[in-house]
Amino acid sequence: METSIYTKEGKAKGKITLPEEVFGLKWNSDLVHQVVNSLMTAKRMGTAHTKDRGEVSGGGKKPWAQKGTGRARHGSSRSPIWVGGGVAHGPRNDKNFDRKINKKVKAKSIAVILSQKYRDGEIIFMDSFGFSAPKTKDAVAVMSNIASVKGFEKVATKRTNALLVATSSKDKNTEKSFGNISKSFVSEVRNLNPIDLMKYKYLVIENPEVSVGLIKERLVK
């Protein structure tokens, strides 16, 4: 599998051979759905909380005598059937939403998504950004140049979740340059995850000679 490498000006510079184990897998919707749903569920904060009958205030005294009043018997005014009483089976902030995902399953899902994006023509390999200082206008210029490449025209017109930039190492200039562009996001290749890959339509892999090796080392055991 051979593909082109581009410069930040949008010009083809060279070629790179991609590993089949990462960019040549078949699409597996069930696997991706399972992993993405599990990761999204694990991110839930669980802030919704209700008090049960043992936590609400009051209700220490029996409302009325057990017998002789003609009314239904009640032991506490904090019962869930009373106004102002506790809530039965309500949401609790101590609930654990985590779902276990095996490392191999998560790694496989990333490779499956990368493979599908590559087949759909949504991955572009760029040699280097080379930002000497954090400047938003430089990042905008790079996005415009990417949009000039055939198949990536929507990078310039898509209003949300257009571009995920994966750098080979931490690069503050690149992060800050794209930081003010709401439809883009910068991450290191070692931190690529299924949620971000599914959220953003296009993926830019910077310094592919190093980045592809890092991705393969992480995903292929």
54-68 per-position pLDDT tens digit: 999 988 889 999 999
Q: 55 and 139, same structural domain?
A: no
Q: 35 and 141, same structural domain?
A: yes
Of 57, 77, 96, the residue at which a domain comes to its end is 96
Distance CA 51, CA 57 (A): 10
Cβ neighbours of 209 (radius 10 Å): 12
160-180 per-position pLDDT tens digit: 999 999 999 999 999 999 999
Structure-block tokens of residue 65: 């005598």
Task: Give bridge partners of residue 206 from the DSSP assignment.
Answer: 126
Q: 8 and 83, same structural domain?
A: no
Of 79, 96, 113, the residue at which a domain comes to its end is 96
Distance CA 198, CA 85 (A): 44
DSSP SS3 for 113 = helix
Q: What confidence score (pLDDT) does residue 133 get?
A: 92
Q: What confidence score (pLDDT) does residue 75 get?
A: 93
Confidence band of 3 (pLDDT split at 50, 70, 90): very high
Please, are residues 197 and 114 in contact by the beta-carbon 8 Å criterion? yes
Q: What confidence score (pLDDT) does residue 202 get?
A: 97
Q: 156 and 205, same structural domain?
A: yes
DSSP summary character for residue 194: H
Of 96, 131, 164, the residue at which a domain comes to its end is 96
Q: 109 and 86, same structural domain?
A: no
Q: What confidence score (pLDDT) does residue 1 get?
A: 83
Q: 196 and 109, same structural domain?
A: yes
Structure-block tokens of residue 139: 């990042």
pLDDT surpasses 80 at 221: no
Q: 92 and 10, same structural domain?
A: no
Q: What confidence score (pLDDT) does residue 95 get?
A: 87
Q: 102 and 78, same structural domain?
A: no
* Residue 27, phi then psi, degrees to nearest 5: -70, 135
- Tell how far CA 47 is from the center of its chain: 20
Tally the domains of the chain.
Answer: 2
Percent of the chain whose predicted confidence (pLDDT) is above 70: 100
The kind and range of the H/E element at 34 are helix 29-42
Residue-averaged pLDDT of the chain: 93
Q: 61 and 15, same structural domain?
A: no
Q: 61 and 27, same structural domain?
A: no
Task: Give bridge partners of residue 188 from the DSSP assignment.
Answer: 167
Residue 7's CATH number: 3.40.1370.10
Domain extent, residue 61, equals 47-96
- Give 121-166 as a DSSP string: T-EEEES----SS--HHHHHHHHHHHHTSTT-THHHH--SS-EEEE
Q: 81 and 7, same structural domain?
A: no
* pTM score of the predicted model: 0.84
Q: 186 and 200, same structural domain?
A: yes
